[in-house]
Chain A
Amino acid sequence: MKAPKDLCSDNKTKKFQNSQLKNYNMKYTTTLIVVTLFFAVSVVLALHIAAPKKENHKHAGFDRVFAANDILRPLDTLDLRYHSYYIAGVDNSHLYLGNSQVPSHIVEAKLNNLKDTIHHNISVGNLKYRSIQVKVVAPYFYLTDGVIPFIYRGNITDWTAAPYKNNAYFMNAVPMDNGMLALIGLDNDMGKVFFKVTKGNPKLEVFPGLLEAQGGEVIFSTEGKLHYDKKTKQLTYVYLYRNQFLLMDDGFNLLYKGNTIDTISRVKIKVGEISSESTFTMAKPPISVNKRSTVSGNYLYVNSNILAGNEDPDTFENASIIDVYHLEKGEYEFSFYIPTYKEETLKEFMVIDNDTVIVKYRQYIVTYTLNTTYSNRSLTI
């Protein structure tokens, strides 16, 4: 690249060559930068292409019975403007929303007119919390925190909470009737168990042996959701990582173990240990089966994460499939989709009286009527 001195004795030529050389170099460098950029992007792209296909599409060895499309009709919508709200409870005519950012804040919305809202503030004094949740079971509301731990209770007429129970640590608390609560926690042998809190009894009743660990791991493999239904006075526990649910009466007597329609009977999770923090966490993306669920009377509604054999993958990905089970018969009935709303997918849902579905999307609440006469087999309530 060095220009011999005698060739560019003229100052102008030198300058010309200089700028030309510079231009050439700039071009070369820019090209090299762009090439590097494309190379780096294609490495990530290759990783993305080589990445395992959606795990929840690989277990489609079962079929769903789809209800007619118009089984759901939108009824009403509410824009909460923040996505930190969660469904705290419902009674006959109201929906109660808690807020994970401001735990003392409650929004009450009328079910027949969602935009008719009242804001409440829970007065509880100075309360330290770590993982607080508000649960409304009219006429009471509960403040539960399994990490501190505490359970407070108050009346929804004045929204003032007072200490109710201070017991062992727990992972989740589900209010039942007559001031009873069902807790999920660990017993002294580090097994996952149910506890029952009764108003008069200062001691917890323990119910071991109901939740079954798989793969020699207790905490994650037994993960799931507990529901209590006032009408039937029954508890339903739906496992998150396997196709199983338990039906129990309010004394935690097992009525039967049921199966959801998919084929995943063994949990597909891999737990890794981080010794430096003495914590355990997922070492692989886990495959959840029964992502969300709710119970209304004799029916169990499961938002499944597993694609069926006779199902269109795009529809499955863009909407939320709900499988309906009859709890008394222990049978699968049919399935329907809850659509997206403003491009958001379902985050929480509840079914009331088997005819109204309340869905929480990111920051929206949408209610739908569930017209079961449109299904292949109509619900008999």
Chain B
Amino acid sequence: MKRIISTLTHFGQRNRAIILETICFLFILLFVYAAVSKLMDVQKFTVQIGQSPLLTNIAWFTAWFIPIIEIVVALMLTWPKMRLIGLYGAFALMVMFTAYIIAILSFSENIPCSCGGVLEKLGWTEHLVFNIGFIILAAIGILLQSQSKDRLHGSVEYGETTSA
């Protein structure tokens, strides 16, 4: 087990940049897609959100706020300086969506879905698995990104050791 972990960590260390890029790319794809499909038909999204017992009173606000935040996070992920904040944002958004799904599944009688595009076709269980997958990706992204940050800072000192 220890061996597997160390191999995985080693793999993660070596391919850190590629893994990070892939994770960010996936999130940008997901958020831009979700946001655009919501904004394309804000009226529909507002009506759908209004059916949710948790959001019915703030439907109009949520219908604009969620896609805009999604786009802002996607933009942050494209900009290396803001990438870490973007990853935290993506992580927080995915946790919120997941908590929302759990809340609505367990406490509510009518369960509307308004995730936009093909994501609407997912069942609730698939949706949960999908979301949890993305939460894990975001956490991995945060860990890798903050590590590469110290590496950036420490590269002068540690450079010697590697070359030696």
Contacts and interface: CB of A to CB of B under 8 A. Distances in A.
B99 A41 contact: yes
Nearest to B144: A29
B110 A285 contact: yes
Interface in A20-79: 21-22, 25-26, 28-29, 32-33, 36-37, 39-41, 43-45, 47-48, 50-52
A281 interface: yes
A2 B154 contact: yes
B27 interface: no
Consensus secondary structure, chain A interface = helix
Given A1-B153, A33-B139, A40-B92, A276 B50 contact: no
Given A3-B157, A37-B95, A274 B44 contact: yes
Interface string A180-219: 0000000000000000000000000000000000000000
A130 interface: no
Given A48-B107, A277-B44, A284-B56, A22 B157 contact: no
Interface residues of A, number: 42
Interface string B145-157: 0110010011011
Contacts of B120: none
A274 B40 CA distance: 12
Given A36-B88, A40-B99, A275 B153 contact: no
B141 to A, nearest CB: 11
Contacts of B6: none
Interface string A248-282: 00000000000000000000001011111100011
A29 B95 contact: no
A147 interface: no
B86 to A, nearest CB: 12
A8 interface: yes
A283 B63 CA distance: 13
A281 B49 CA distance: 12
B158 A18 contact: yes
Contacts of A28: 146
B103 A44 contact: yes
Contacts of A26: 143, 147
Contact of A283 (B47, B53, B91, B154): B47
Interface in B127-164: 139, 142-143, 146-147, 150, 153-154, 156-158, 161
Contact of B95 (A2, A40, A275): A40
A39 B43 contact: no
Interface string B100-121: 1001000101100000000000
Closest 9 CB pairs of A and B: A40-B95, A272-B47, A44-B99, A40-B92, A274-B44, A29-B146, A40-B96, A283-B50, A51-B54
A2 B153 contact: yes
Contact of B51 (A18, A43, A283): A283
A285 B53 contact: yes
B31 to A, nearest CB: 15
Nearest to B103: A48
A5 interface: yes
Contacts of B95: 36-37, 40-41
Contact of B50 (A33, A44, A284): A284
Contacts of A40: 91-93, 95-96, 99
Interface in B69-107: 88, 91-93, 95-96, 99-100, 103, 107
A270 B50 CA distance: 10
B147 A25 contact: yes
A256 to B, nearest CB: 32
A14 interface: yes
A25 B41 contact: no
Contacts of B100: 44, 47
B14 to A, nearest CB: 16
Nearest to A43: B96
Contacts of A281: 47, 51
Contacts of A284: 50-51, 56
A272 B142 CA distance: 41
Interface string B28-63: 000000000000010110110011111111010000
Contacts of B53: 51-52, 285
A11 interface: yes
Given A5-B157, A25-B147, A274-B43, A36 B56 contact: no
B80 to A, nearest CB: 18
Contacts of A8: 157
A36 to B, nearest CB: 5
5 contacts: A11-B161, A26-B143, A28-B146, A36-B95, A40-B93
